[in-house]
Amino acid sequence: MYNKGTIIPGLIIFVLFVTFPIWFNGLSAAPAPKPEMPPGGEKKCVESAEYMRANHMQMLNDWRDNVLRDDNRTVVEVEGKKYRKGLQQACMQCHTNKEKFCDNCHTYAAVNPYCWDCHLTPKEAASKGGTR
Amino acid sequence: MKYAFSLLAVIALILVAGLGSLVPGMQYLFGVVIPYLAIMIFIGGFVYRIIQWAKSPVPFSIPTTCGQGVSLDFIKQDKLDCPTKTSEVVARMFLEIFAFRSLFRNTKSELHNGPKITYESSKWLWLFALLFHYSFLMIVIRHMRLFVEPIPFWVNAVEAVDSMLQIGAPTLYLSSVGLVGGVLLLFGRRLVSRHVRYISLNNDYFPLVLIFAIAATGILMRYFMRDNIDIMNIKQLAVGLVTLSPVIGAKIGTIFYIHLFLVSTLLVYFPFSKLMHMGGVFMSPTRNMANDSRAKRHINPWNDPEIKPHSYAGYEDEFREFMVDAGIPVEKELTAVKDEA
């Protein structure tokens, strides 16, 4: 084998790059966190839990477009219960704790939704005095 | 129709994973066993290929010289295109690896009226390759968010840059557009350009089709076919794989298994294909040697040190009698040699 002095270090760097997740985790990683269920004990949502887990971001995006761009504030009615389209007006009424409900999974999956560029969490809203 | 074979091969792979992962119990095969095998073959095969290359001697000093070499003091040397020092070689290699400098000079000859022939650098290949490779790099870095916990800041930074247009939810990634666009352009180039089409083989088309299918399944999974695609379950599986304690917990959609199987195929295919240019670019003698053969002697490593130089005078000394016998003219006659002795 020629040029051992450069090729072997090069191969070691390559293997370190490829196995990055293995040595970075060190063979143990924190378990997946669970989102906190509504403190009020609410069991019903606008859709099934399975659907919400996979599609909530698309539903919220549609709602945002409906309300802000199309001026369509039609109330969503599911089994007699009415939900106003909105993160704070619908979701956060039951899931009151953003840190324990939203952030648990979002942080784990490195998802950084820009909801909170405009919205206030219930905690922030209370401290700023005023919520609709 | 060479590309049709590649297309059929990838469709077959999709069917294998799509139908196979629906069979109860086979999720473990497609989610755990095949990915493990694939990554082992990838690392083992990659190292094996590099070592095989490293064992091949470079008999001659063969750097490509694309500019003015070192000469008289008042003639300016082109340090990047005709490097003589290690530092210049490093600079040349750096630009080759990060900016694909040699593709920038992809000369194309054209015949015009006159008749007149012109040679011009055709920049398309360079542009498509940059788009493709950097998008792919960003995608690989982004995927680290599924494998590590806690997530390092630079993964989040790449993610933020990649989704900065904030289109839709989940947000559109620039690199997704870049990868699909790059692959389609590189594939289209092989179809449209007649001389490239003529030299294109199955092993040129197959990786392009395979990478397109990987990107397409990834995009479908993220935006459109979201049934049972819960990123928490997927990350649990991915983290399980890299902590060597894999579990298949909740049900994950078929599209995920197809994506994973295609990536595994790519990893297995990688070391035995042209994709090895990833390692090979570092080992091209035409790039990584300095053009200093007039200052330093390049010793051919396969020369046997036991074989000493043999001059004509020595040769004649050895065979003079036979040469005279055979009537071959000699410089020193037999009698002259005897007189000396």
In this structure, the answer to whether residues B175 and B272 fall within a common structural domain is yes
- Domain count across chain B: 2
- Contacts A28 to B, Cβ<8 Å: 243
pLDDT value of position A93: 84
- To the nearest whole Å, the CA of B143 is away from the closest chain A CA by 10
Lowest mean pLDDT among B180-184, B220-224, B336-340: B336-340
Residue A54's nearest CA partner among B250, B245, B179, B259 is: B250
Q: What is the DSSP string of B216-254?
A: HHHHIIIII--TT--HHHHHHHHHHHHTT-----S---H
In this structure, the answer to whether residues B190 and B319 fall within a common structural domain is no
% pLDDT > 90, chain B: 70
Mean pLDDT of B93-115: 89
Give first-to-last CA distance, chain A, whole Å.
74
Q: Which of A7, A25, A60 sits opposite B50 (nearest CB)?
A: A7
Mean pLDDT of A102-107: 88
In this structure, the answer to whether residues B339 and B221 fall within a common structural domain is no
Q: Which two tokens stand for residue A29?
A: 């990683």
In this structure, the answer to whether residues B212 and B331 fall within a common structural domain is no
- Residue B236 within any structural domain of the chain: yes
Q: Mind listing the pLDDT tens digit for each residue in B306-327?
A: 888 889 999 999 999 999 999 9
In the predicted model, is pLDDT for residue B188 greater than 80? yes
Give the domain extent around B315: 309-341
CATH of the domain at B273: 1.20.950.20
In this structure, the answer to whether residues B54 and B126 fall within a common structural domain is yes
- Residue B302 within any structural domain of the chain: no
In this structure, the answer to whether residues B313 and B284 fall within a common structural domain is no
In this structure, the answer to whether residues B209 and B330 fall within a common structural domain is no
In this structure, the answer to whether residues B283 and B154 fall within a common structural domain is yes
Q: How many secondary structure helices (H) and strands (E) does chain B include?
A: 15, 2
**Phi, psi of B291, deg, nearest 5:** -85, 70
- To the nearest whole Å, the CA of A101 is away from the closest chain B CA by 14
- Residue B293 within any structural domain of the chain: no
pLDDT value of position A132: 46
- Contacts A108 to B, Cβ<8 Å: 149, 232, 235
- Residue B297 within any structural domain of the chain: no
Q: Is B171 helix (H, G, I), strand (E, B) or coil?
A: coil
Quote the CA–CA distance of A132 and B239 in Å, as a whole number.
42
In the predicted model, is pLDDT for residue A80 greater than 70? yes
Assess B43–A contact: CB distance below 8 Å, yes or no. yes
- To the nearest whole Å, the CA of B228 is away from the closest chain A CA by 6
Assess A27–B contact: CB distance below 8 Å, yes or no. yes
- Site from A8, A15, A16, A25 to mutate, B interface, most B CB atoms within 10 angstroms: A25
Q: Which two tokens stand for residue B198?
A: 């003529």
Cβ pair A109:B232 closer than 8 A: yes
Q: Mind listing the pLDDT tens digit for each residue in A64-73?
A: 999 999 998 8
In the predicted model, is pLDDT for residue B263 greater than 90? yes
Mean pLDDT of B277-299: 92
Assess B152–A contact: CB distance below 8 Å, yes or no. yes
In this structure, the answer to whether residues B110 and B150 fall within a common structural domain is yes
| pLDDT band of B77, cuts 50, 70, 90 | very high
Assess B155–A contact: CB distance below 8 Å, yes or no. yes
- Residue B264 within any structural domain of the chain: yes
- Contacts A30 to B, Cβ<8 Å: 149-150
Query: How many Å separate Cα B30 from the centre of its chain?
Result: 27
Q: Mind listing the pLDDT tens digit for each residue in B136-184?
A: 999 999 999 999 988 999 999 999 999 999 888 889 999 999 999 999 9
- Site from A3, A12, A22, A69 to mutate, B interface, most B CB atoms within 10 angstroms: A22
Q: How far is CA A11 from CA B35, B44, B182, in A?
A: 22, 11, 29
- Residue B296 within any structural domain of the chain: no
In this structure, the answer to whether residues B221 and B253 fall within a common structural domain is yes
Lowest mean pLDDT among A118-132, B276-290, B308-322: A118-132
Mean pLDDT of A77-101: 85
Q: Which of A21, A54, A108 sits opposite B228 (nearest CB)?
A: A54
Q: Is A79 helix (H, G, I), strand (E, B) or coil?
A: coil
pLDDT value of position A131: 47
Mean pLDDT of A76-99: 85
Mean pLDDT of B51-66: 92
ipTM of this predicted structure: 0.88
In this structure, the answer to whether residues B337 and B231 fall within a common structural domain is no
- Residue B300 within any structural domain of the chain: no
Q: On the CB side of B19, how many CA atoms lie within 13 Å of its CA?
A: 5
In this structure, the answer to whether residues B169 and B226 fall within a common structural domain is yes
- Is the distance from CB of A74 to CB of A62 less than 8 angstroms? no
- Residue B87 within any structural domain of the chain: yes
Which has more pLDDT, B11 or A44?
Answer: B11
